């Protein structure tokens, strides 16, 4: 579990670095815009291509089996719940897209790898990969458009909708999956280059979060939107996943992995895309920051609860 806490500490340290660099004028407004664009249009597509190329094989599908459907049910279910909560609780219309994405999508890449490896070792990799791929594809394939709606940057026509679906991250995911399933090898220099560029995604996203934190006024004071998204991410999401696992009689090891992933802090990419679209950056940074801090307590709490149940 020490590795899991190390992952939390790394996230907070990089956010702090972004905060300090912005305060000292090293990361400027132009710098944050560049980081946001580079991450959204270059590094995230590289991550999705290498992830789908690395995992999306028939062997991986057979190994994870029917439990590949569980992350799909989880993310879709959480998003539907988030939409309902946002309307019942009176979340402002300009916050709802970011709110629902923060509520539904976990930080399965930066936080998931150290935490799941500490809990289950290599055996947890297929299920972590399944949750990450499904959540990320749903995000870039559909739910990110609701963040665009927050900023009034989405069209209603089918041509505009199709254009938004054909985003670089989703296209790169499909390309990587096709290459892997068709057993078309990527030359090693190209694959390594894509991996190196993709590895910049998490640190750049967290530096951006720190920079936004440094420039936002009263960012430390949670708003109603951020409080509900924080509670949804660290409490409602893992408890819903646990209930679903018990209902479907998911094996204990797999259930433990999915419950922990579902309770991880909010996805970094929500911060990046809110900056890209001009949506509520303060909401996304607040939720990322506080869910990361709270996860130091909630993840051990979930492990204790799972130990008592299983």
Query: Along the chain (310 residues), what's the average pLDDT of each consecutive run of 10 residues?
Result: 63 88 90 88 88 80 77 93 94 94 89 76 77 88 88 63 68 88 91 93 87 72 90 94 92 90 91 88 88 87 88
Strand partners of residue 266: 106
Taken in order 199, 140, 122, 205, is the CA torsion positive or negative? positive
> Between the CA atoms of 92, 214, 167 and 112, what dihedral angle is there, to the nearest 10 degrees?
-100
222: region left, alpha or beta (phi > 0 left; psi from -120 to 50 alpha): beta
pLDDT at residue 4, as a whole number: 52
Q: What pLDDT score does 103 carry? A: 95
CA 189 centroid distance within chain: 28
Question: Coil, strand, or helix at residue 230?
Answer: helix
Q: Which domains does the chain have, with CATH numbers?
A: 2-309 (1.20.1530.20)
Q: Which of 298, 291, 268, 297 is nearest to 36 (CA)?
A: 268
Concatenating the DSSP letter of every residue in 25-52 gives TSS-HHHHHHHHHHIIIIIHHHHHHHHH
Single pTM value for the model: 0.83
Q: Which residues contact 293 (CB under 8 A, 6 or more apart)?
A: 12
pLDDT at 115: 79
Question: Residue 29 and residue 17: Cα distance in Å, rounded?
Answer: 16
- pLDDT value of position 263: 93
| CA 287 – CA 298 distance, rounded (Å) | 15
- Residues sharing a CB contact under 8 Å with residue 157, sequence separation 6 or more, in sequence order: none
Nearest to 112 by CA among 244, 235, 202, 27: 202
Residue 231 DSSP symbol:
H
Return the pLDDT at 166: 67
DSSP code string of 154-183? ---SHHHHHHHHS-HHHHHHHHHHHHHHTT
Alpha-carbon gap, residue 172 to 174, rounded angstroms: 5
């Amino acid at each position: 579990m020490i590795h899991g806490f190390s992952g939390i500490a790394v996230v907070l340290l990089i956010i702090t670095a972004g905060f300090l660099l912005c305060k000292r004028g090293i990361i400027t407004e132009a710098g944050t815009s560049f980081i946001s664009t580079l991450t959204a249009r270059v590094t995230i597509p590289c991550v999705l291509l290498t992830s789908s190329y690395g995992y999306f094989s028939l062997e991986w599908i057979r190994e994870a089996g029917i439990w590949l459907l569980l992350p799909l049910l989880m993310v879709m279910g959480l998003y539907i719940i988030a939409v309902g909560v946002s309307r019942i609780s009176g979340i402002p219309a300009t916050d709802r897209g970011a709110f629902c994405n923060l509520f539904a999508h976990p930080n399965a890449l930066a936080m998931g790898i150290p935490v799941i490896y500490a809990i289950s070792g290599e055996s947890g990799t297929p299920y972590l990969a399944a949750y990450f791929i499904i959540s990320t594809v749903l995000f870039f394939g559909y739910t990110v458009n609701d963040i665009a709606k927050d900023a009034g940057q989405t069209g209603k026509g089918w041509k505009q909708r199709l254009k938004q679906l054909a985003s670089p991250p989703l296209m790169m995911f499909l390309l990587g999956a096709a290459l892997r399933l068709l057993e078309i090898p990527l030359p090693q220099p190209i694959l390594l280059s894509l991996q190196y560029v993709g590895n910049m995604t998490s640190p750049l996203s967290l530096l951006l979060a720190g920079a936004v934190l440094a420039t936002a006024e009263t960012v430390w004071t949670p708003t109603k939107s951020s409080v509900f998204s924080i509670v949804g991410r660290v409490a409602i999401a893992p408890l819903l996943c646990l209930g679903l696992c018990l209902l479907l009689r998911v094996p204990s090891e797999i259930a433990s992995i999915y419950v922990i992933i579902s309770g991880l802090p909010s996805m970094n990419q929500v911060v990046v895309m809110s900056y890209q679209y001009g949506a509520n950056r303060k909401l996304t940074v607040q939720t990322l920051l506080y869910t990361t801090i709270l996860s130091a307590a909630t993840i051990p709490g979930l492990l204790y609860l799972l130990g008592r149940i299983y």
